[in-house]
Structure 1
Amino acid sequence: NLASLEVRRVLPSDVNIIQIALVSESASRDKMKAVAEDLQDKLEQIKQLKNIKIHGLPERIVRIDLQLEKMAQLRIPLEAVIGNLQSEIANIPGGSVDASTKSFNIKTSGNYKDVEEIRNTIVLSSNNKNILLKDIAAVYSSYAEETHVTRLNGYRSVFVTAAQKPGENISKTQEVYAPVIEEFKKTLPANIDLVQHFDQADNVNKRLSGLGMDFIIAILLVAITLLPLGQRAALIVMISIPLSLAIGIVLMNAMGYTLNQLSIVGLVVALGLLVDDSIVVVENIERWLRDGHSRMEATLKATQQIGLAVVGCTATLIIAFLPLVFLPEAAGEFIRSLPMGVITSVLASMLVSLTIIPFLSSRLLKETHGHPDGNIFMRSLKKLINGSYSVLLDKALSKPWWTIGIALIIFIASLQLFPVIGFSLFPASEKPQFLVEITTPLQSNLAYTDSITKQIEKELRAYDEVQYVATNVGKGNPRIYYNVIPENERTDYTQIFVQLQEDTPPYQKLALIETLRSKWTPYPGAKVEVKNFEQGPPINAPVEVRLFGDNLDTLRSLAARVEQTLEKTEGTLYITNPVTHLKSDIKVDIDKDKAQMLGIPTVTIDRTVRLAVAGLNVGKFSDENGEDVEILLTKANQGQSTLDALENLYVNNQQGKAIPLNQVAELKLESSPININHFDKIRMVSVTAFVGKGFLVDNVINDVVAKMEAMPLPAGYSYG
């Protein structure tokens, strides 16, 4: 009973880097489609982009509204209409023939070319008279049923998205697509506006500029720190910073790592570490120079003296970050570029401090100093050291056991701070954007979900810090964040992508999220969840309890107990149990014996019901533009599918006689699960929860695990 089988492969590189809204309240669907496809064509010409898609616009179809009553009068069975249409759609190659020294392909009748040809399809020949499709049906171009409604800031929109090909530089890619979009915007009609409300390149450029600012601050701090050694020593150390970073990036690239959010964070962390080696080497060379040695001698002996210590310190730092490199599974794969950024930069720093720094020191440092104790900054530093610090050091060395004891007490006391501070492997995103997810009662139709969504939209736009509200009714927003997988089409679901003003600080975003959570929990007629973007590999929720077993009813019972457990756990919110309710389906229970006696094949009943409710897809044809257009058979005056579509429905037997559906089938209500999940081929139910403000995920998970350990489970059932 599968309607379709879909295999999806989710990769972080498939995230969209741009999302563009074509906004219009008055343009026709045909015009919006034409403009969206023109923009799609422009973006597809950019070699750095891939997966250019249009969202929020139903597919164009040819609709055939059959008059079933007239078909019954003319004794035209549904199977005859379907068979004739599919035979005309069939495009069977004629093969090839040889003529003399040449070979020619044989082209046969081919497919439909336009709607008029479909209208003139012969469905039955009787008494030397052909009955055409247009005699029993209305045939016209239309659009498929709307299942995904998109708006920007409350205005009707069509979204166009594009992802970037692997190995491309997003900043350089932006330089290519930005002028193309700007030029296309100038060609739009007056009643259509183009708004590029999401551009990932802006976020990346902002991070890179932040790295540049950290880089400048690091150089200035080094210059201030090395004032006691003199300007030349400070210059040598400052040279080591960009040099070490550059070599580190080259090493990362050689090992297959690129510049991304995490590797940039790694480089920022490394900025505070990579100057240490150079400072130690330069300071030691300066000390040897003050003792009267030549530049070459001071450089060689000072580097030799300190070299082993530099290697040891570097090895210690590398070993400290190695556990993150070998972190297993998805979390390790996700975070690996961060420690690699630190390791390669620190390793480069060691190489620079033992090679380039000694070379520059032997050329740039002065052999003589005006004062035997150094410049004024060095003398002030020595005075400070020989003062209070020297006294404290003497006392510490004179009582070594007391010193060790106090150090151990401080160390042990600091360990007690871990439970207070807590632990979280992946922090929340600081980007000025978040998601609002709306879930209406099970099996709500799209119109009801949209009405609730419009209320939420209006309330969101009332906040000054909100810049864009991208609404997706019936489906998730196109993928714009690496670990958020869009929800498939559902009539009871809406996802709103909210973007704040660019200068909105993280604390203000978090305050707004908490305000909205308090305001919309609970919300009449729907469940409204405000979710911040999180770092880390893709997960359903920060807290997830998976129950494994064979029997669905038992799993439902266990899931209800887990749901109650999560509700009683401090710090949890937005608890979701997907099997709380069962959906109700209407089953067409066919009396096969009666149907067989009346000469009605079961497939004819199935097709007739499908035609009356959702329409029956009989195939596709290529129009004059080369686009594949679906041909949909429906019942005349069908409109929106309701229970009325099944009333007074007739099915034809093999002789073409119309027989009421209720004579061979009965409509029954039956319950079924919303979905059935499996993990490693074992049936599974997953109960999830998010974590509120002021609570750490690790602490909440530990609390949940302790409660789950105390919960008895039937034999053959487990949790994870």
Structure 2
Amino acid sequence: MSAIEYNVSGKIVNYFCSSKLTILVIIACFLLGFIAVTQTPREENPQIVVPGANIYVALPGASSQEIEQLVLNPLEAIVGEITKVDHSYGVAMNSMAVVTVQFEVGEDKERSLVKLYDRILGQRDRLPVDALEPVIKSIDVDDVPIVTVTLASENYDDYALKRIADRMLEGMRSLEAASVSYVKGGRDREIRVELNPERLQAFGVSIDHAQAMIQASNVAMALGTFVQQGKNQDLFVSGFVHSVDDVRRTVVGNYNGQLIYIEDVATVIDGPATERKQLSRFAFGAGDPRFNKAHDPEMPAVTLAIAKKQGSNSVVVANDILARVKQMQEQFIPDDVQVIITRNDGQKADDSVNDLIGNLGMAVVVVFIITLLALGTKEALIVGISIPLILAITLGADYLFGLTINRLTLFSLILSLGMLVDAPIVVIENIHRHYKNIRPANKKLATVLAVNEIGSPTNLATFAIMLVFISMLMLTGMPAPYFFPIIFNVPVTMFASVLVAYIVTPWMAQKWLKAGEGKELDDFDKKDKLHLFYRSIIEPFVDKPKSRNLLFISVILMLIVALLQPAWQFIRPQGVGGATSLFAVEMGMLPKDNKNTINITLDMPESTPIEETDKVVREIGHILRKESQIINYQSWIGTAGVIDFNGLLRGAGDKKASYVAEVRVNLTHKNDRDQTSVDIVRQLRPKLQIIQTAYPGSVIKIVE
């Protein structure tokens, strides 16, 4: 054996083929895979680091045109001087300018924000002197809520629901993995002073004086220290308003020697604001059993939104939140308040991962069956064990290098499944052939020679595939981190496949297969119909040069036609938005997914009052309630809804105006309906187009 020169593959097999370390390697790999599956965070999409921030600069009293000239243009110029800024866009409103800054994907978040703060505050003198100090708020993907809990009721208004939600919010903040949490919708508690002009005049108190006295009564400050009994004592003025009675008893003047209190010249009310600048409602759809059981189909509603901390498992965090909500329902939430989970990204991530795991398991079974039919039971078992071992190594690498289990991670495993079995199958097939005419004493030599024989071409093919996917590192922008699980996992999987093929497969073959159990593969088997069919097709191209040239030209032409198919999509007889022409292939970055939720946005002309915007939203709701695939929807008028990933990058979460609205629609689960979300959107668009036509200047969009 020493006279034989082995390549790298042969040397690996020669060492591990009869080594006791091999079984330890197998156990260690499976243990690593188990730890990875149970400990690696699960989420629907890969983690993408996109540093960004919103910059707010207020100039009270300025029109939108003045804001654009005096604030927005200089601010955008300052931002443009910062390196590594991908893009920025600004909005000028009355008294306010907002600039959204997005840095290049993958940039360090802290460094990017420090650069932004330093540049903006260092160039403060380029902004108007009477402009307020810039407010910079970071935009973080992890700030997107993974769970939203909506409270709705026929018997409680949005003010009462808001107070319940605020109490729930306090309980949610004690969750260790919970991050940004807030309540969306509802009116806050306020103490409102409604002055009576006649009584003010009777007592000789002006409105300005009354206002100044109220403000002066709501202050607190440190006055200093004094020494008492040999000890320093701090002296404070504690004048903050603690109750509505404190406001009522505020002194605003003196009339004929009598003190005049606020309650003498005004009505003091403790409660919600009377003027509504924002509205939020909830309604069950036809797909929910509670549909049409309420007197009013749309109920007042508020929403509690909870995000998770970076690196935490969205599935675990979501389950903890739901458990806390259930606990609160038992403790203090009234029975006639509907508690609806309107967003659960943890469940969505878990469903996506489980679906792909199921598809992965089915693919493994198919590979096992094919190997079983082609080689035999023992050989199929060896390949079948190799597959989960390779996947365990890959998931272990994901765990060690900080990747999460998400759709792209599992898609990369499915993508590589057809390739990762190549090396184990080629190795076991050649060992199978070498075992035909050997004695038991020569099994190790036959095993090493079998792998040594096919090692070099197997290595070349494997590393060629690895290089193809490693070249995707040249991607830039958002696709780079999004597709990184594929770029990382496929090469790791392929490398793991050759290691398993050279370490584990020969070891199992030597343990399980017997000498003489293999069979010699004949070059031509006249009894094999598949063999005969293949030869009848391939022989003309091998023996006849003209046939080979014709085949070569045909392949080149078909390749050219295939490359032209995407360009053919631009030829559409019905216009840009119409159907494609015959044989055209539509292009897209990713296939359209069958979602369980859609979002409808409404933008009216800027002069539209909130009552008119609300009227349009109600008409949209009337259409939605007729759709059998909708289980519920929630509408926000005068503000954007709870932010999602798309809205975060578009800056849609900060929209607040009487002319904007948003409707979040939840569909029945995709496993319980025949139509996809794409089909449902196509059905809704013509119906919503009628509403848009009825209100000139309105823009209704459906976002999936």
User: Given the two structures, how large is their TM-score scaled by the length of structure 2?
Assistant: 0.69
The correspondence for 2:684, drawn from 516, 540, 545, is: 516
1:292 maps to what in 2? 438
* TM alignment of 1:88-487, pairs within 5 A: 88-96=217-225, 104-125=233-254, 128-144=257-273, 145-153=275-283, 154-187=298-331, 188-227=333-372, 228-292=374-438, 294-369=442-517, 383-384=528-529, 386-399=531-544, 402-403=547-548, 405-417=550-562, 418-419=565-566, 420-481=584-645, 485-486=652-653
- Structure 2 vs 1, CA of residues 124 and 513 (structure 1 numbering), >3 Å: closer, same or farther? same
Is residue 275–residue 349 contact of structure 1 (8 Å, CA) maintained in 2? yes
Q: Matched residues in 2 for 1:310 and 1:81: separation?
A: 89
Deviations 1:482-530 (A, max 9, x none): 5654351121122111121112558543222112112222421263535
Q: Secondary structure at the match of 2:220?
A: coil
Q: Matched residues in 1 for 2:479 and 2:409: separation?
A: 15
Q: Matched residues in 2 for 1:205 and 1:118: separation?
A: 53
Is residue 433–residue 532 contact of structure 1 (8 Å, CA) maintained in 2? no
The Cα shift of 1:75 comes to 5.2
Deviations 1:185-217 (A, max 9, x none): 344323212111321122112112212211221
Code of the aligned partner of 2:317: T
- Structure 2 vs 1, CA of residues 96 and 132 (structure 1 numbering), >3 Å: closer, same or farther? same
Taking only aligned residues, the RMSD between alpha carbons, in angstroms, comes to 3.0
Is residue 434–residue 530 contact of structure 1 (8 Å, CA) maintained in 2? no
- Structure 2 vs 1, CA of residues 404 and 208 (structure 1 numbering), >3 Å: closer, same or farther? farther
The Cα shift of 1:48 comes to 1.9
Is residue 295–residue 365 contact of structure 1 (8 Å, CA) maintained in 2? no
The Cα shift of 1:476 comes to 2.0
Q: Matched residues in 2 for 1:232 and 1:451: separation?
A: 71
- Structure 2 vs 1, CA of residues 267 and 78 (structure 1 numbering), >3 Å: closer, same or farther? farther
Q: Matched residues in 1 for 2:250 and 2:679: separation?
A: 64
Code of the aligned partner of 1:347: F
Q: Matched residues in 1 for 2:699 and 2:141: separation?
A: 27
Code of the aligned partner of 2:702: K
1:496 maps to what in 2? 663
- Structure 2 vs 1, CA of residues 169 and 52 (structure 1 numbering), >3 Å: closer, same or farther? same
- Structure 2 vs 1, CA of residues 324 and 430 (structure 1 numbering), >3 Å: closer, same or farther? farther
Q: Secondary structure at the match of 2:657?
A: coil
Q: Secondary structure at the match of 1:531?
A: strand
Q: Secondary structure at the match of 2:190?
A: strand
Is residue 12–residue 483 contact of structure 1 (8 Å, CA) maintained in 2? no
Is residue 152–residue 469 contact of structure 1 (8 Å, CA) maintained in 2? yes
Q: Matched residues in 2 for 1:101 and 1:361: separation?
A: 90
Code of the aligned partner of 2:401: M
The Cα shift of 1:80 comes to 3.4
Is residue 147–residue 489 contact of structure 1 (8 Å, CA) maintained in 2? no
- Structure 2 vs 1, CA of residues 480 and 129 (structure 1 numbering), >3 Å: closer, same or farther? same
Q: Matched residues in 2 for 1:104 and 1:359: separation?
A: 82
- Structure 2 vs 1, CA of residues 342 and 93 (structure 1 numbering), >3 Å: closer, same or farther? farther
- Structure 2 vs 1, CA of residues 135 and 483 (structure 1 numbering), >3 Å: closer, same or farther? closer
Is residue 638–residue 661 contact of structure 2 (8 Å, CA) maintained in 1? yes
- Structure 2 vs 1, CA of residues 432 and 28 (structure 1 numbering), >3 Å: closer, same or farther? closer
Q: Secondary structure at the match of 2:639?
A: coil
Q: Matched residues in 2 for 1:424 and 1:344: separation?
A: 27
Code of the aligned partner of 1:203: K
Is residue 623–residue 687 contact of structure 2 (8 Å, CA) maintained in 1? no
The Cα shift of 1:457 comes to 0.8
The Cα shift of 1:24 comes to 0.5
Is residue 594–residue 676 contact of structure 2 (8 Å, CA) maintained in 1? no
Q: Matched residues in 1 for 2:266 and 2:477: separation?
A: 58
Is residue 12–residue 482 contact of structure 1 (8 Å, CA) maintained in 2? no
Q: Matched residues in 2 for 1:326 and 1:97: separation?
A: 69
Q: Matched residues in 2 for 1:264 and 1:327: separation?
A: 20
Q: Secondary structure at the match of 2:215?
A: helix
Is residue 203–residue 255 contact of structure 2 (8 Å, CA) maintained in 1? no
2:69 maps to what in 1? none
The Cα shift of 1:57 comes to 1.0
Code of the aligned partner of 1:106: L
Q: Secondary structure at the match of 1:107?
A: strand
The correspondence for 2:702, drawn from 531, 535, 538, is: 531
Is residue 431–residue 506 contact of structure 1 (8 Å, CA) maintained in 2? no
Code of the aligned partner of 2:300: R
Code of the aligned partner of 1:331: P
Q: Secondary structure at the match of 2:146?
A: strand
2:31 maps to what in 1? none
1:616 maps to what in 2? none
- Structure 2 vs 1, CA of residues 429 and 7 (structure 1 numbering), >3 Å: closer, same or farther? farther
- Structure 2 vs 1, CA of residues 266 and 507 (structure 1 numbering), >3 Å: closer, same or farther? farther
Q: Secondary structure at the match of 1:474?
A: strand
Aligned residues: 530
Q: Matched residues in 2 for 1:490 and 1:506: separation?
A: 38
Code of the aligned partner of 1:123: V
Is residue 516–residue 530 contact of structure 1 (8 Å, CA) maintained in 2? no
Is residue 147–residue 345 contact of structure 2 (8 Å, CA) maintained in 1? yes
* Structure 1 unaligned blocks of 5 or more: 534-720
- Structure 2 vs 1, CA of residues 279 and 109 (structure 1 numbering), >3 Å: closer, same or farther? same
Q: Secondary structure at the match of 1:159?
A: strand
Is residue 439–residue 493 contact of structure 1 (8 Å, CA) maintained in 2? yes
Is residue 192–residue 269 contact of structure 2 (8 Å, CA) maintained in 1? yes
- Structure 2 vs 1, CA of residues 522 and 381 (structure 1 numbering), >3 Å: closer, same or farther? farther
Q: Matched residues in 1 for 2:429 and 2:406: separation?
A: 35
Deviations 1:216-250 (A, max 9, x none): 21221111221221112111211222222222122
1:571 maps to what in 2? none
Is residue 183–residue 302 contact of structure 2 (8 Å, CA) maintained in 1? yes
Q: Matched residues in 1 for 2:201 and 2:387: separation?
A: 85
Q: Matched residues in 2 for 1:305 and 1:102: separation?
A: 92
Is residue 15–residue 482 contact of structure 1 (8 Å, CA) maintained in 2? no
Is residue 432–residue 505 contact of structure 1 (8 Å, CA) maintained in 2? no
Q: Matched residues in 2 for 1:449 and 1:497: separation?
A: 16
- Structure 2 vs 1, CA of residues 191 and 211 (structure 1 numbering), >3 Å: closer, same or farther? same
* TM alignment of 1:535-546, pairs within 5 A: none
Q: Percent identity of the aligned residues?
A: 21
Deviations 1:23-45 (A, max 9, x none): 10112455323321232233222
Is residue 92–residue 108 contact of structure 1 (8 Å, CA) maintained in 2? yes
Code of the aligned partner of 1:170: S
Q: Matched residues in 2 for 1:236 and 1:244: separation?
A: 12
Q: Matched residues in 2 for 1:233 and 1:379: separation?
A: 23
Q: Matched residues in 1 for 2:396 and 2:155: separation?
A: 53
Q: Matched residues in 2 for 1:295 and 1:382: separation?
A: 31
